[in-house]
Amino acid sequence: MHLLLVGLSHRTAPVELRERVDFQARDLAAALRALAERGSAREAVVVSTCNRAEMYVACDEAEPTRQDLLRFLSDYNQVAAADIAPHVYDVVDLDAARHLFRVAAGLDSMVVGEPQILGQVKEAHTIATEARTAGAVLNRLFHASFAAGKRVRTETGLGAGAVSVSYAAVALVSWMVYSFELFAARRIGWGGRRAAYLSALGFVIVLLNFVPISYFVPNSHKF
């Protein structure tokens, strides 16, 4: 018996392709039943999020099953195999288990440490259990990944920073706006203290070729 993972993610595929390979949007339970009917895998769990589509299966022979999973990925999502193949990865046995542990812990996420993925992995396993495509091998594997993900979050500081792509984007934009205000103020001759003071009041200076052309003054502040 082998453990096999075939999938694609934000690390290997552009967002346009990931949007087309979306089992969740096409009914994940139906996808699991369709995969089981092919007979190449004894057990199957599909983790499908906006950033990944991964099929974890227990099978007798890894290579024939890998080829069949690639065809299934193409057929079920109605995407040409030639478009998918360059972006697909596959790993077996211990490496597949390690990968799932990394996913559940948030180590393989676009924003490292984001907490949503553990819940998504649990949901994927629950759907597979209800569809009766998860058996003894995958049940044991996924429950171990839940424990690993929980332990990483409780025993390390991994989740202390940005917890989602949107959170990270807002933090980055805030930093960029503040840095731009200070740079603009200094560029046209204001000292650092005045720049910081004006920034704290909420002044935003719009520049053209580093020449102030207009001012936006919030509330009752006058320039």
Both tokens of 201, joined, read 């009041």
Which of the following is catalytic: 17, 34, 50, 196? 50
The answer to whether the CB of 141 falls within 8 A of the CB of 129 is no
* DSSP-derived 3-state class of residue 13: coil
The answer to whether the CB of 82 falls within 8 A of the CB of 23 is no
Does the active-site annotation cover 50? yes
Q: Which residues, in sequence order, are bridge partners of residue 203?
A: none
Both tokens of 47, joined, read 């983790």
Cα(207)–Cα(188) distance, integer angstroms: 10
Amino acid at position 24, single letter: Q
* DSSP-derived 3-state class of residue 91: strand
Rg (CA), the chain: 24
The answer to whether the CB of 211 falls within 8 A of the CB of 189 is no
Cα(118)–Cα(44) distance, integer angstroms: 18
> Could you give the angle at which helices 93-105 and 116-130 cross, rounded to 10 degrees?
130
Show which residues are catalytic: 50
